[in-house]
Chain A
Amino acid sequence: MEALEGLLTGFQIAFSFHGILFVLIGVVVGTLIGMIPGLGPITAIAVMIPVIYGMDPTLALLMMAGVYYGAAYGGAASSILLNAPGVSEAVATTFDGYPMAQQGKAGKALAIAAISSFVGGTVGVILLTFFAPTLAKVAVSFGPPEYFMLMLMGLTAISSLSEGSTIRALISATVGFMFATIGIDAQTGTPRFTFDSPHLTEGIDFLVVALGLFALAEVCSLILNRKERLTDQKNIGSLHLTKKELHEMKGPMGRQSILGFLIGVLPGAGGTIASFLGYLTEKRIAKNSDEFGKGSVKGVAAPETANNGSSTGAFVPLLSLGIPGSGTTAVMLGALIVLGIQPGPMLYQQHPDVFWGVIASMYIGNIFLLILNLPLIPYISKILKIPRPLLISLVIVFCIIGVYGISFNTFDLYLLLGFGVLGYLMRLVSFPAAPFILAFILGGMMEQSLRQSLTISNGSLMIFATRPVALTILILSILSLLFPYFQNRWQKRNRIRQGL
Chain B
Amino acid sequence: MKKMAGALVLTFVLVFTAACSSSSSGSQESDSGEWKPDKPIEIVAPAGPGGGWDTTARMAAKVFEEEGIIQQDIGVINKPGGGGALGWSYIHSKKSPNSLFVSSPPLLLVPLNGQSQYTYEDFTPIANMIADYGAFAVRKDAKWDNLNELFDDMKKDPSSITVIGASSPGSMDHIQFVKVAKKAGVDIKKIKYVSDQDGGALTALLNGSADVYTTGVAETLEQAKAGKIKVLGVTSEERLDGDVVSTFPTAKEQGIDATFVNWRGFFGPPNMDEAALSYYEKKFKELSDSEAWAEIREKYGWKEMYMDHDEYMEFLSKEKDELQKLIDELSLGK
CB atoms of A147 and B15 under 8 A apart: no
CB atoms of B49 and A42 under 8 A apart: yes
A104 contacts the other chain (CB 8 A): no
B2 contacts the other chain (CB 8 A): yes
CB atoms of A383 and B4 under 8 A apart: yes
B195 contacts the other chain (CB 8 A): yes
A:281-333 near B, CB below 8 Å:
317, 322-327, 330-331
Choice from B203, B218, B221, B300 contacting A142 with Cβ under 8 Å:
B203
B332 contacts the other chain (CB 8 A): yes
Instruction: Give the interface segment out of B29-37, B94-102, B223-231.
Output: B223-231
Choice from B19, B206, B209 contacting A144 with Cβ under 8 Å:
B209
Nearest neighbor of A463 in chain B, beta-carbon distance: B209
Choice from A142, A191, A327, A408 contacting B50 with Cβ under 8 Å:
A327
A334 contacts the other chain (CB 8 A): yes
Nearest neighbor of A34 in chain B, beta-carbon distance: B7
CB atoms of A199 and B86 under 8 A apart: yes
A418 contacts the other chain (CB 8 A): no
Least distance between B39 CB and chain A CB atoms (Å): 19
Please encode chain B, from 198 to 227, with 1 for each CB lying within 8 Å of some chain A CB and 0 for all others: 111011101111100000001001110110
CB atoms of B198 and A448 under 8 A apart: yes
Least distance between A468 CB and chain B CB atoms (Å): 12
Least distance between B291 CB and chain A CB atoms (Å): 14
B271 contacts the other chain (CB 8 A): no
Task: Determine the chain B residues whose CB is within 8 A of the CB of A109 once the complex forms.
Answer: none
Central interface residue in A198, A330, A346, by most chain B CB within 10 Å: A198
Task: Determine the chain B residues whose CB is within 8 A of the CB of A38 once the complex forms.
Answer: 11
Task: Determine the chain A residues whose CB is within 8 A of the CB of B116 once the complex forms.
Answer: 198
Task: Determine the chain B residues whose CB is within 8 A of the CB of A317 once the complex forms.
Answer: 203
Least distance between B233 CB and chain A CB atoms (Å): 21
Choice from A139, A385, A407 contacting B86 with Cβ under 8 Å:
A407
Kindly state the separation between the CA atoms of A310 and B102 in the bound complex, as whole angstroms.
35
Please encode chain A, from 342 to 356, with 1 for each CB lying within 8 Å of some chain B CB and 0 for all others: 111110000000000
Nearest neighbor of B22 in chain A, beta-carbon distance: A408
Please encode chain A, from 375 to 392, with 1 for each CB lying within 8 Å of some chain B CB and 0 for all others: 010011011011000000
A499 contacts the other chain (CB 8 A): no
Choice from B162, B169, B203 contacting A267 with Cβ under 8 Å:
B203
Task: Determine the chain B residues whose CB is within 8 A of the CB of A382 once the complex forms.
Answer: 1
Q: Say whether, besides A42-B50, A407-B79, A383 and B168 are in contact (CB < 8 Å).
A: no
CB atoms of A36 and B10 under 8 A apart: yes
CB atoms of B1 and A386 under 8 A apart: yes
Kindly state the separation between the CA atoms of A39 and B81 in the bound complex, as whole angstroms.
17
Least distance between A158 CB and chain B CB atoms (Å): 21
Please encode chain B, from 148 to 166, with 1 for each CB lying within 8 Å of some chain A CB and 0 for all others: 0000000000010010000
Nearest neighbor of B45 in chain A, beta-carbon distance: A46
A201 contacts the other chain (CB 8 A): yes
CB atoms of B209 and A143 under 8 A apart: yes
B83 contacts the other chain (CB 8 A): yes
A337 contacts the other chain (CB 8 A): yes
CB atoms of B18 and A142 under 8 A apart: no
Central interface residue in A143, A342, A344, by most chain B CB within 10 Å: A143
CB atoms of B1 and A385 under 8 A apart: yes
B288 contacts the other chain (CB 8 A): no
CB atoms of B50 and A455 under 8 A apart: no
CB atoms of B168 and A199 under 8 A apart: no
CB atoms of B50 and A32 under 8 A apart: no
Least distance between B287 CB and chain A CB atoms (Å): 15
Q: Say whether, besides A36-B11, A145-B209, A50 and B58 are in contact (CB < 8 Å).
A: yes
CB atoms of A144 and B200 under 8 A apart: yes
Kindly state the separation between the CA atoms of A323 and B219 in the bound complex, as whole angstroms.
10
B:155-207 near A, CB below 8 Å:
159, 162, 167-171, 192, 194-200, 202-204, 206-207
Task: Determine the chain A residues whose CB is within 8 A of the CB of B198 once the complex forms.
Answer: 268, 445, 448
CB atoms of B222 and A49 under 8 A apart: no
Nearest neighbor of A46 in chain B, beta-carbon distance: B49
CB atoms of B4 and A380 under 8 A apart: yes
Task: Determine the chain A residues whose CB is within 8 A of the CB of B115 once the complex forms.
Answer: 184, 191, 198, 201
Kindly state the separation between the CA atoms of A184 and B197 in the bound complex, as whole angstroms.
12
Choice from A43, A53, A342 contacting B222 with Cβ under 8 Å:
A342
A47 contacts the other chain (CB 8 A): yes
CB atoms of A140 and B203 under 8 A apart: yes
Choice from A42, A140, A267, A407 contacting B81 with Cβ under 8 Å:
A407
Task: Determine the chain B residues whose CB is within 8 A of the CB of A143 once the complex forms.
Answer: 200, 203-204, 207-210
CB atoms of B203 and A36 under 8 A apart: no
Task: Determine the chain A residues whose CB is within 8 A of the CB of B167 once the complex forms.
Answer: 186
B318 contacts the other chain (CB 8 A): no
Kindly state the separation between the CA atoms of A394 and B221 in the bound complex, as whole angstroms.
49
Q: Say whether, besides A50-B59, A202-B81, A407-B80, A142 and B207 are in contact (CB < 8 Å).
A: yes
Kindly state the separation between the CA atoms of A142 and B199 in the bound complex, as whole angstroms.
12
Nearest neighbor of A342 in chain B, beta-carbon distance: B222
Kindly state the separation between the CA atoms of A32 and B8 in the bound complex, as whole angstroms.
10
B143 contacts the other chain (CB 8 A): no
CB atoms of A189 and B169 under 8 A apart: yes
Choice from B15, B79, B85, B225 contacting A344 with Cβ under 8 Å:
B225
Instruction: Give the interface segment out of A87-95, A223-231, A238-246, A398-406.
Output: A398-406
Task: Determine the chain B residues whose CB is within 8 A of the CB of A326 once the complex forms.
Answer: 199
A119 contacts the other chain (CB 8 A): no
Task: Determine the chain A residues whose CB is within 8 A of the CB of B82 once the complex forms.
Answer: 198-199, 201-202
Task: Determine the chain A residues whose CB is within 8 A of the CB of B223 once the complex forms.
Answer: 322, 344-345
Task: Determine the chain A residues whose CB is within 8 A of the CB of B40 once the complex forms.
Answer: none
B146 contacts the other chain (CB 8 A): no
Task: Determine the chain B residues whose CB is within 8 A of the CB of A408 once the complex forms.
Answer: 15, 18-19, 22, 77, 79
B12 contacts the other chain (CB 8 A): yes
CB atoms of A345 and B168 under 8 A apart: no
Choice from A340, A383, A455 contacting B192 with Cβ under 8 Å:
A455
Q: Say whether, besides A189-B169, A202-B82, A202-B83, A334 and B7 are in contact (CB < 8 Å).
A: no
Nearest neighbor of B195 in chain A, beta-carbon distance: A186
Nearest neighbor of B4 in chain A, beta-carbon distance: A383
Least distance between B271 CB and chain A CB atoms (Å): 22
Nearest neighbor of B301 in chain A, beta-carbon distance: A337
* List of 6 A-B pairs having minimum Cβ-Cβ separation, nearest first: A344-B222, A143-B209, A46-B49, A198-B82, A345-B226, A331-B50
Q: Knowing that A32-B10, A36-B8 are A-B contacts, what are 13 other residue pairs whose CB atoms are under 8 Å apart, sorted by A's residue number?
A: A36-B10, A43-B48, A46-B49, A142-B200, A143-B200, A143-B207, A202-B80, A317-B203, A331-B49, A345-B226, A379-B1, A407-B81, A456-B192
Q: List 7 A-B contacts (CB under 8 A).
A: A140-B206, A140-B207, A187-B195, A189-B113, A326-B199, A334-B55, A408-B22
A: which residues have CB within 8 A of B? Answer: 32, 35-36, 38-39, 42-43, 45-47, 49-50, 53, 139-145, 147, 184-189, 191, 198-199, 201-202, 267-268, 317, 322-327, 330-331, 334, 337-338, 340, 342-346, 376, 379-380, 382-383, 385-386, 394, 397-398, 401, 404-409, 445, 448, 452, 455-456, 458
